[in-house]
Chains A and B, each alone.
Chain A
Amino acid sequence: SQTIHQWPATLVQPVGSPLSLECTVEGTSNPNLYWYRQAAGRGLQLLFYSVGIGQISSEVPQNLSASRPQDRQFILSSKKLLLSDSGFYLCAWKLGTEAFFGQGTRLTVV
């Protein structure tokens, strides 16, 4: 069966510090991978998506970046965090019509 791992579950980082969130998928090959951000009580904002290794599409200009070094690994990074980067970050994979989400990382930038 397919599973998705996303870590850490919570993170508190100071402004200006770097960020690296990792997401891995097991049990499937060549999935579409996604990073979303959700502010409190709000919708899911698509940040990045990838249809294959090394292929990254960015949806929102920001100080975040994404990379897909392996087929089932998707990494969200920042060199210098801003206060506005706080939120709930969700990784997801899709093969076909259904998307499966990780448990999310709650990031607080202080």
Chain B
Amino acid sequence: GQSLEQPSEVTAVEGAIVQINCTYQTSGFYGLSWYQQHDGGAPTFLSYNALDGLEETGRFSSFLSRSDSYGYLLLQELQMKDSASYFCAVRDANNQGGKLIFGQGTELSVKP
């Protein structure tokens, strides 16, 4: 089967850097994605890693190590508006690559 593990919650202060880890287990693997969800809203796409290494998009970066089945989301220069839940997701290579499963989410609280 497939599973993803990520911490349930993280707290940090404004201006700091925070890293949210994700380990995954799948029978096939296409890539690791990250999504942000504010309370009561719809998840929105942040980043995608298909290959090992770091992808940078503004204040957010995402890293993948396929050999370790591990990735992380790095948020820099934290702002209050970054308080949200963050989900890692994997696309299973089986079933025509259609299956997209999410972790349980990490609730990030940014304090002043």
Q: Could you tell me which A residues sit within 8 Å of B by CB distance? A: 32, 34, 36, 41-44, 46, 49-51, 57, 59, 90, 92, 94, 97-104
Contact = CB atoms under 8 A, between A and B. Distances in A.
Contact of B96 (A51, A98, A103): A51
Interface of B: 31, 33, 35, 41-45, 48, 50, 87, 89, 91, 95-96, 98-105, 107
Nearest to B91: A97
Give 7 nearest A-B pairs by CB, closest first: A43-B104, A101-B42, A44-B102, A51-B98, A97-B48, A98-B45, A51-B96
A32 B98 contact: yes
Nearest to B4: A43
Given A97-B33, A99-B33, A49 B99 contact: yes
A7 to B, nearest CB: 13
Nearest to A41: B107
A51 B42 contact: no
Q: Which of B33, B98, B99 has the most CB of A within 10 A?
A: B98
B43 A101 contact: yes
Given A90-B43, A99-B35, 13 more contacts: A34-B100, A42-B105, A43-B102, A44-B105, A46-B102, A49-B100, A51-B95, A51-B96, A57-B99, A97-B91, A98-B45, A101-B43, A103-B41
B33 A103 contact: no
Contacts of A36: 102
18 contacts: A36-B102, A42-B104, A43-B104, A44-B43, A46-B100, A46-B102, A49-B98, A49-B99, A51-B96, A51-B98, A57-B95, A97-B31, A97-B33, A98-B45, A99-B33, A99-B43, A100-B45, A103-B42
B42 A98 contact: no
